[in-house]
Structure 1
Amino acid sequence: MKKRQKRRGKRAGQAGKRALHMQTDNLIFQLILNIGLLVLVANLLSKLKIIQNIIQQERRSFKSQVLLALVFGGIIVLSTYTGIDIGSYSLNTRVIGAMTSGILGGPIVGLYASFIGAVYVYFFSEPQMFAMASAFSTVLFGLLGGGFYPYFQRGKWKYRDLFLLACFAEFCDMIALLRLASPFADALNTVLEIAVPMIVLNSIGILIFISSFNNVFIQQDIESSRQLQQASELTQKCLPLLRHGISKGENMHELASVILSETDWMGVMITDRTAILEWQQEGEEFQPGDLTSIPRVGKNAMQTGSLSTMYNVPRSSSWYEWMKEYSMIAAPFVIKGKSVGCLIVWMKKRWVFRKSELELLQHLVTLGSFQIAMAELEHQEIMRQQAELKALQFQVNPHFLFNALNTISCVCREDAQRARELLVILANYFRYNLDGSAGMVPMGEEISHVKDYLELEKGRFEDKLIVTYDVPRKMDILIPTLILQPVVENAVKYGINREGKRIVNISVKEMEEEFIVRISDKGKGFPAEVADMLEKGDTVGRSIGLSNVYKRMKSTYGEDGRIKISSSGDGSCVELCFKKGR
Structure 2
Amino acid sequence: MLELSILMMERVGIVVLLGFILVSIPQMRRWLFNPTMAGKFWLIVLFSFVAVIANMTAVVIGPHNEIESSIVMMNLPHGDSLANARVLAISSAGIVGGPFVGGMVGLIAGLHRMMQGGPSGWFYVISSLIIGLASGGMYRSRNHEEQGGDPFAILTTHQAFIVGLVMETLQMVFVLLFSERGWELVSFIAFPMIVINTLGTMVFISVISMYFKQENQTRALQTQTVLNLASSTLPYFRQGLNYDSAQKVAQIILDNTNFAAISLTTTKSILAHVGAGSDHHVATHQMVTNLSREAITTNQVHIAQSKEEIGCSNPNCPLRAAIVVPLNVDQKIVGTLKMYYTESWRLTPVEIELAKGLADLFSSQIALGEAEHQANLVRDAEIKSLQAQVNPHFFFNAINTIAAMIRINSEQARELLIKLSQYFRSNLVGARATTITLDQELAQVEAYLSLEQARFPGKYQVKFDVTANRSLLLPPFAIQILVENAIRYAFKDRRQDNQVTVTAHADQQWLSIAVADNGEGIDPNTLEIYGDQEVESQHGSGTAVYNLNQRLIGLYNDQSRLQIQSSSDGTIVKMKIPVQMGG
Could you tell me the TM-score, scaled by structure 1's length? Answer: 0.57
Partner of 1:43: 20
User: Aligned to 1:148, what secondary structure does the other structure show?
Assistant: helix
User: Aligned to 1:104, what secondary structure does the other structure show?
Assistant: helix
Shift of 1:246: 0.7
Which AA in structure 2 matches 1:121? R
Shift of 1:369: 0.9
Shift of 1:129: 7.7
The structure-2 alpha-carbon separation of the partners of 1:99 and 1:329, relative to structure 1 and needing over 3 Å to count, comes to same
Partner of 2:196: 201
Aligned length: 371
Aligned counterpart in structure 1 of residue 59 of structure 2, from 78, 84, 89: 84
- Verify the 8 A CA contact 2:157 2:206 in the aligned structure 1: no
Aligned counterpart in structure 1 of residue 183 of structure 2, from 181, 188, 192: 188
Partner of 1:170: 168
Aligned counterpart in structure 2 of residue 536 of structure 1, from 553, 557, 564: 553
Aligned counterpart in structure 2 of residue 150 of structure 1, from 140, 144, 149: 140
How many Å separate the matches in 2 of 1:259 and 1:379?
25
The structure-2 alpha-carbon separation of the partners of 1:533 and 1:213, relative to structure 1 and needing over 3 Å to count, comes to closer
How many Å separate the matches in 2 of 1:320 and 1:141?
53
The structure-2 alpha-carbon separation of the partners of 1:33 and 1:380, relative to structure 1 and needing over 3 Å to count, comes to same
Matched, 1:346 2:340: yes
How many Å separate the matches in 2 of 1:253 and 1:386?
34
How many Å separate the matches in 2 of 1:55 and 1:49?
10
Which AA in structure 2 matches 1:353? L
Matched, 1:25 2:2: yes
- Verify the 8 A CA contact 2:11 2:54 in the aligned structure 1: yes
Matched, 1:277 2:241: no
Rg comparison, structure with higher value = 1
- Verify the 8 A CA contact 2:270 2:284 in the aligned structure 1: no
Shift of 1:387: 9.8
Matched, 1:320 2:320: no
Partner of 2:49: 74
Which AA in structure 2 matches 1:86? I
Give the unaligned 5+ runs of structure 2: 64-80, 148-152, 384-535, 539-548, 558-583
Shift of 1:131: 1.5
Matched, 1:292 2:282: no
How many Å separate the matches in 2 of 1:159 and 1:174?
22
Partner of 1:210: 205
Shift of 1:317: 6.8
Which residues of 2 match residues 458-497 of structure 1 at below 5 A? Answer: none
Shift of 1:147: 2.1
Aligned counterpart in structure 2 of residue 264 of structure 1, from 258, 263, 283: 258
User: Aligned to 1:227, what secondary structure does the other structure show?
Assistant: helix
Shift of 1:146: 2.0
Aligned counterpart in structure 2 of residue 309 of structure 1, from 303, 306, 330: 303
Which AA in structure 2 matches 1:33? E
Partner of 2:89: 97
Residues 91-146 of structure 1, C-alpha deviations (whole Å, 9 max, x = no match): 22211011111211223322332222122211114xx5852222322222222222
Partner of 1:131: 121
The structure-2 alpha-carbon separation of the partners of 1:118 and 1:286, relative to structure 1 and needing over 3 Å to count, comes to same
Shift of 1:512: 11
Which AA in structure 1 matches 2:17? L
Aligned counterpart in structure 1 of residue 364 of structure 2, from 362, 370, 386: 370
- Verify the 8 A CA contact 1:289 1:318 in the aligned structure 2: no
Partner of 1:544: none
Which residues of 2 match residues 557-572 of structure 1 at below 5 A? Answer: none
The structure-2 alpha-carbon separation of the partners of 1:149 and 1:383, relative to structure 1 and needing over 3 Å to count, comes to same
Which AA in structure 2 matches 1:254? K
Which AA in structure 2 matches 1:117? A
The structure-2 alpha-carbon separation of the partners of 1:168 and 1:334, relative to structure 1 and needing over 3 Å to count, comes to same
Residues 436-490 of structure 1, C-alpha deviations (whole Å, 9 max, x = no match): xxxxxxxxxxxxxxxxxxxxxxxxxxxxxxxxxxxxxxxxxxxxxxxxxxxxxxx
How many Å separate the matches in 2 of 1:264 and 1:239?
21
User: Aligned to 1:344, what secondary structure does the other structure show?
Assistant: strand
Partner of 1:115: 107
Residues 368-408 of structure 1, C-alpha deviations (whole Å, 9 max, x = no match): 1111222222222221217999xxxxxxxxxxxxxxxxxxx
The structure-2 alpha-carbon separation of the partners of 1:94 and 1:305, relative to structure 1 and needing over 3 Å to count, comes to same
Partner of 1:469: none
How many Å separate the matches in 1 of 2:85 and 2:360?
48
User: Aligned to 1:309, what secondary structure does the other structure show?
Assistant: strand
Aligned counterpart in structure 2 of residue 224 of structure 1, from 219, 227, 239: 219
Residues 307-365 of structure 1, C-alpha deviations (whole Å, 9 max, x = no match): 12244566997743343643332111112211112122222141573212211111111
The structure-2 alpha-carbon separation of the partners of 1:366 and 1:27, relative to structure 1 and needing over 3 Å to count, comes to same
Which AA in structure 2 matches 1:87? G
Q: Higher helix share goes to which structure? A: 1
- Verify the 8 A CA contact 1:303 1:339 in the aligned structure 2: no
How many Å separate the matches in 2 of 1:216 and 1:319?
37
Partner of 2:542: none
The structure-2 alpha-carbon separation of the partners of 1:25 and 1:283, relative to structure 1 and needing over 3 Å to count, comes to same
Residues 211-244 of structure 1, C-alpha deviations (whole Å, 9 max, x = no match): 1222211221221122122222222211221012
The structure-2 alpha-carbon separation of the partners of 1:382 and 1:282, relative to structure 1 and needing over 3 Å to count, comes to same
Matched, 1:334 2:328: yes
How many Å separate the matches in 2 of 1:121 and 1:102?
18
The structure-2 alpha-carbon separation of the partners of 1:376 and 1:358, relative to structure 1 and needing over 3 Å to count, comes to same
Partner of 2:435: none
Partner of 2:386: none
Identity of aligned residues (%): 23
Partner of 1:555: none
Could you tell me the TM-score, scaled by structure 2's length? Answer: 0.57
The structure-2 alpha-carbon separation of the partners of 1:137 and 1:288, relative to structure 1 and needing over 3 Å to count, comes to same
Of the structure 1 ranges 276-285 and 203-212, higher mean CA displacement relative to structure 2 is found in: 276-285
Which AA in structure 1 matches 2:300? S
Coordinate RMSD, CA, aligned: 3.4
Shift of 1:283: 7.0
Give the unaligned 5+ runs of structure 1: 1-23, 390-510, 514-531, 541-582
- Verify the 8 A CA contact 1:266 1:282 in the aligned structure 2: yes
How many Å separate the matches in 2 of 1:539 and 1:328?
52
Aligned counterpart in structure 1 of residue 11 of structure 2, from 14, 31, 34: 34
Aligned counterpart in structure 1 of residue 235 of structure 2, from 237, 240, 245: 240
